[in-house]
Structure 1
Amino acid sequence: MTFLEKIKQPLFWSNFAKVAIPFFVIVTVVSLLMASFSDLFSADFAKVIETNFADGKWKNFFGFKVVFSAAYGLYMTNKKMV
């Protein structure tokens, strides 16, 4: 079955969500830990927000992760579906 045939099936998108959403959450948490480990554990959330999300930084922070998670989800779902 080709990729275009697979994406027309509702099961494909259900499996895609099962892969992409947890992957997005994990990548986001790991990224926050790597970028602001000391600020997170000292509970300085204002500093975490300033470092990662203020002044439009949230677009870059989440944009890459959404695209990467979607690509990974499409790849894995396509690979695993028969």
Structure 2
Amino acid sequence: MTDMSDDERKIMQSHVAYWSDLLKRATAIVYGPVFDPEGGYGVGVVSVDSEEQLKQIIAADPANGLNEYEFYPMKAVFKKDDTQ
């Protein structure tokens, strides 16, 4: 995160714009960098209907190839709409 080349920085700016759009469309619930002392990485929580949809989101991410992705299913106990 701290030693990106100019090309990597441009890719990451496109990555942030891509995820910002997913947030506006309520596909992404939250996303952002994690400043782990062992090395930074990002985390995103998304709401999708299938694993295939998530794979499509990852495939279309401008940083795919620069970033590595792992994903795990999560059962939401409470969603924003449930607590209001």
TM bucket (normalised to shorter chain) is 0.3 to 0.5
* Structure whose CA Rg is larger: 1
User: TM-score scaled to structure 2, two decimals?
Assistant: 0.34
More helix by percentage: 1
User: TM-score scaled to structure 1, two decimals?
Assistant: 0.35
More strand by percentage: 2
